[in-house]
Amino acid sequence: MATLGMSAADKEAIEAFKRDVVDPSMTSLVILDFWAEWCGPCKALSPTLEKIAVDYADRGVILAKINVDEQKLIAAQFRVQSIPTVYAMFQGQLVADLTPARTEGQLTKMLDQILKQLPITSEADAAAQDLAPMIAMGEEALDAGDIERALSVFGQLADMAPDNSDILSGLARTLVQAGQYDEAEAALAALPPEKEKDAGIARARAAIALARDAQPVDDMAALRAKLDADPDDHATRYELAGGLMASGDRDGAAEALLDLIARDRDWNEGAARTRLLKLFEVVGLEDGWVRDQRRKLSAVLFT
């Protein structure tokens, strides 16, 4: 907006608009609400816009209200001819006319479509990016079997971000490795229902279930001797797989379960396959080891 020849008041209005609207729009989506005190429809729409601004704040959306009577120059610059007029601005440019949308549902639908197309980094995204290296540090410690260090990392992270699914998943899985099954379940107990669908939480719950199911075995040599004497003793092979899982030998556990499936896939209502799939979920469905084991399982099932 050019300021040459403008009054001091107009220049101040333009500077304020730049500071309060244009500059924030460089990284956020700004909803511009042109309104006036005498406008009934404006007052009816205002609570909806304010609610949406609160609901979408963590996705990088902010609300700027422009009183057309007090900021006539700004309204004129945007060629506002009737109110309410509602625009969306990003990086100093209008990206959408939200005026036709008058209900919360209509507005949220339009905002969702807009946000999918814009490179907006919300506060929640930025916070997640800051936590990612520390979460990776905890996962590395857990993978290396350094349970004490993993507990320390995930415990501190849980204090910082108590609703973060990846952090709670890591903490619960670490507690499982420490043999603290009740504590692992307690770490997930306060999760809101929508978080239960997150892959990390499902992985943690599978780890707890698998750990409770797979009990340590004191004498593995005796189990192996029983199998040597009777290779079709499926209960013993299943117990051996559980003991191997409890000791952290996932290769041996997978081999035992695949052998059992190959011998009798329907034994005990498919218990071996169910346990193997739980193991896959605990390790991580995108893990290379799981992909290799899935190929082996497919070969057993389809040959």
48-60 pLDDT, tens digit per residue, is: 999 999 888 888 8
**C-alpha–C-alpha distance, residues 72 and 80, integer Å:** 9
Catalytic-role residue among 39, 61, 74, 223: 39
Residue 168's identity, in one-letter code, is L
Structure tokens at 127: 């916070």
Catalytic-role residue among 13, 42, 66, 171: 42
Helix (H, G, I), strand (E, B) or coil at 290: helix
- Give burial (CB, 10 Å; 0-12/13-18/19+) of 199: middle
pLDDT of 195 above 90:
no
Q: What is the mean pLDDT of residues 57-77?
A: 90
Q: What percent of the chain stands above pLDDT 90? A: 65
End-to-end CA distance of the chain: 73
Order of all β-strands in the sheet with 29-35: 61-67, 29-35, 85-90, 93-97
Active site (annotated) includes residue 42: yes
Render pLDDT for 85-124 as a digit per residue (tens, 0 to 9). Answer: 999 999 999 999 999 988 999 999 999 999 888 887 665 6
C-alpha closest to that of 172 among 185, 158, 162? 185
Helix (H, G, I), strand (E, B) or coil at 97: strand
Active site (annotated) includes residue 198: no
Alpha helix segments (H runs only) across 18-122: 40-55, 72-77, 104-117
